[in-house]
């Protein structure tokens, strides 16, 4: 029995090793990426940064002093707009008046949590007492 030729093992079908499969999948992914997959992946909602829900802006702010009455009055007018993509409630506004002595007086203008649709504008107007030292600057921001 020692001198006999050993019987050949039955032929086994090989499916390739791990390096073969890694190289094959890598080439398929590279072909997908080069043929436009990169544009498809970048447009997916997973990679896009979400736009802030409420993007408000203030524009058209004007101020003037009316001294025709017994006491001078400061008029502040402007508008707030919803530049976002969904309806949001408008936060209160803060009017800051700086007098000639660099003192800052803050006034809060309520908006009753009014809901603004995307692109909608909210006009505001306020009458304020003029500081004794006069007015150097007026600014309007959203109250925090």
CATH number of the domain where residue 84 is located: 2.60.40.10
If one counts the domains in the chain, the total is 2
Query: In this structure, is residue 80 part of a structural domain?
Result: yes
Looking at the fold, whether 137 and 78 belong to one and the same domain comes out as: yes
Inter-CA distances, 125 with 3, 77, 78, 94, Å: 111, 4, 7, 12
Average model confidence (pLDDT) for the chain?
83
Domain that holds residue 28: 16-48
Looking at the fold, whether 83 and 131 belong to one and the same domain comes out as: yes
Question: Residue range 117-133: average pLDDT?
Answer: 90
Looking at the fold, whether 66 and 117 belong to one and the same domain comes out as: yes
Looking at the fold, whether 38 and 68 belong to one and the same domain comes out as: no
Looking at the fold, whether 135 and 65 belong to one and the same domain comes out as: yes
Looking at the fold, whether 41 and 63 belong to one and the same domain comes out as: no
Looking at the fold, whether 71 and 132 belong to one and the same domain comes out as: yes
Question: Residue range 104-131: average pLDDT?
Answer: 89
- Between residues 56 and 5, the one the model is more confident about: 56
Query: In this structure, is residue 40 part of a structural domain?
Result: yes
List pLDDT tens digits, range 33-76.
Answer: 888 777 776 666 665 555 444 588 999 999 999 988 888 999 99
Contacting residues for 111 by C-beta, under 8 A, at least 6 apart: 80, 90, 91, 92, 93, 122, 124
Residue 36's pLDDT is 79
Looking at the fold, whether 83 and 37 belong to one and the same domain comes out as: no
Residue 140's pLDDT is 92
Residue 53's pLDDT is 47
User: What is d(CA 104, CA 131) in angstroms, rounded to the nearest whole number?
Assistant: 10
Long-range contacts formed by 115-118: CB under 8 A, 24+ apart? 115/87, 115/88, 115/89, 115/90, 116/56, 116/80, 116/81, 116/82, 116/87, 116/88, 116/89, 116/90, 117/82, 117/87, 118/82, 118/83, 118/84, 118/85, 118/86, 118/87
Looking at the fold, whether 104 and 36 belong to one and the same domain comes out as: no
Looking at the fold, whether 109 and 69 belong to one and the same domain comes out as: yes
Question: Residue range 134-139: average pLDDT?
Answer: 90
Q: Which of 87, 67, 79 is nearest to 130 (CA)?
A: 67
């Amino acid at each position: 029995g020692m001198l006999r030729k050993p019987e050949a093992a039955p032929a086994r079908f090989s499916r390739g090793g791990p390096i073969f499969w890694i190289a094959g999948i890598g080439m398929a992914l590279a072909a997908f990426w080069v043929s436009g997959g990169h544009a498809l992946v970048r447009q997916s909602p997973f990679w896009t940064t979400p736009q802030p829900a409420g993007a408000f802006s203030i524009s058209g702010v004007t101020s003037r002093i009316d001294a025709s009455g017994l006491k001078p009055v400061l008029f502040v007018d402007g508008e707030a707009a919803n530049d976002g993509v969904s309806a949001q409630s408008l936060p209160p506004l803060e009017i800051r008046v700086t007098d000639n002595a660099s003192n800052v007086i803050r006034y809060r203008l309520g908006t009753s949590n009014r809901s603004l649709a995307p692109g909608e504008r909210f006009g505001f107007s306020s009458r304020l007492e003029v500081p004794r030292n006069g007015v150097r600057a007026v600014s309007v921001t959203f109250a925090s």
